[in-house]
């Protein structure tokens, strides 16, 4: 029985998993507190985690019909993420593990997104290609055994992540934060072919697995600016639909290329942008044409949550992995090499 804690950004999450089955998960978001700033403010996020931590854990235990003494292990995100936010979650998780007398496991946030799919579709195929796409990350991975073998990075974004591109263009178009859902809603009434936005890094000779969305963001900004210079507002629905189509095209094109090049028969799409309707539609269509199985977690497991961290913790426990020491620290910029992440504090330098 593993309790998972997630606090890397603006969601405080607690989830409980036993033998690959999700028993409960609760998420408290501070998104509304950040909306007026147009993005996440780290100090506000950290304070929100402090207020939400105990109620979220209590609700998760109540929904599972459990008490803390019935928990067998605690798993917590130790990176990457906002330093202050991570520190709040880790401090709380250490307290719970110590109070319950159970082992603590440090988990890489992105491995959590990968494991979220197991809660809906069962064990990950070996191998599989995973497309992680969110506000802060856009990566293509080759995954075999998630908790026993190293994770191979095929490609990452060179600048803006896909979700970051949505957020920035939404602000340009006068849409609310967070930009991803706002772009998706606006696009329903638009024509995806109305604007010929570029497809970054898709020309012959480009890195086949790398992503770049900064130029696409700039192209959208210039398109909107040209309309305003003529004294008219840009057609928001068309711009949103065309932007969404460009992002979905690049993401799915590169993901399918990775499946083909590595002879992999399963593509898993995870992260907050996996909730985007056009990403899902285009991924389904292209996977069906290529004979590739597509797995996407349900919407509630796409965004940050404690259930995905509990899922990794559950896999670590069942694999016999060593728990983290209670001196484990956080690593806000941790690279994804293994699902288990147990960074330790730097040794203090003694000044003579």
For residues 246-260, average pLDDT: 98
Alpha helices of 265-336 — where are they, by DSSP H? 277-290, 306-319
- Rounded Cα distance between 187 and 67, Å, is 45
Percent of the chain exceeding pLDDT 70 equals 98
- Rounded Cα distance between 271 and 240, Å, is 20
Those residues with Cβ within 8 angstroms of residue 43's Cβ, 6 or more apart along the chain or in another chain: 84
pTM of the predicted protein model: 0.94
Tell me: the pLDDT tens digits for 331-342? Answer: 999 999 999 999
- Rounded Cα distance between 201 and 216, Å, is 11
Q: Do residues 47 and 87 make contact, with C-beta atoms less than 8 angstroms apart?
A: no
Those residues with Cβ within 8 angstroms of residue 213's Cβ, 6 or more apart along the chain or in another chain: 138, 157, 159, 160, 161, 162, 164, 165, 200, 247
**By CB neighbour count within 10 A (0-12 exposed, 13-18 middle, 19+ buried), where does 19 fall?**
exposed
Tell me: the pLDDT tens digits for 257-301? Answer: 999 999 999 999 999 999 999 999 999 999 999 999 999 999 999
């Amino acid at each position: 029985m593993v309790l998972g804690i997630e606090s890397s950004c603006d969601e405080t999450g607690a989830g409980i998993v036993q033998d690959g089955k999700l028993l409960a998960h609760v998420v408290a978001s501070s998104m509304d507190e950040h909306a007026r700033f147009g993005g996440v403010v780290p100090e506000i996020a950290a304070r929100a985690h402090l207020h939400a931590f105990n109620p979220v854990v209590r609700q998760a235990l109540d929904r599972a019909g459990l008490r803390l003494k019935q928990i067998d292990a605690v798993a917590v995100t130790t990176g990457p993420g906002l330093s202050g936010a991570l520190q709040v979650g880790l401090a709380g998780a250490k307290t719970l593990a110590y109070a319950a007398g159970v082992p603590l496991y440090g988990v890489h946030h992105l491995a959590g997104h990968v494991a979220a799919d197991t809660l809906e579709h069962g064990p990950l195929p070996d191998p599989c290609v995973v497309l992680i796409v969110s506000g802060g990350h856009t990566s293509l991975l080759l995954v075999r055994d998630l908790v026993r073998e190293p994770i191979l990075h095929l490609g990452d974004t060179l600048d803006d992540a896909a979700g970051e591109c949505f957020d920035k263009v939404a602000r340009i178009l006068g849409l609310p934060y967070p930009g991803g859902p706002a772009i998706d809603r606006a696009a329903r009434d638009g024509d995806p072919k109305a604007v010929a936005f570029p497809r970054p890094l898709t020309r012959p000779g480009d890195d086949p697995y790398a992503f770049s969305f900064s130029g696409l963001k700039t192209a959208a900004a210039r398109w909107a600016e040209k309309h305003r210079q003529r004294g008219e507002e840009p057609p928001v629905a068309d711009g949103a639909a065309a932007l969404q189509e460009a992002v979905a095209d690049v993401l799915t094109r590169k993901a399918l290329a990775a499946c083909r090049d590595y002879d992999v028969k399963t593509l898993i799409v995870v992260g907050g942008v996996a909730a985007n309707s056009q990403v899902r539609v285009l991924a389904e269509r292209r996977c069906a044409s290529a004979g590739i199985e597509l797995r996407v977690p349900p919407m509630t497991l796409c965004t940050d949550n404690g259930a995905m961290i509990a899922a990794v913790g559950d896999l670590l426990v069942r694999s016999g992995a060593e728990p983290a020491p209670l001196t484990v620290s956080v690593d806000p910029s941790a690279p994804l090499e293994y699902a288990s992440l147990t960074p330790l504090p730097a040794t203090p330098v003694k000044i003579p």
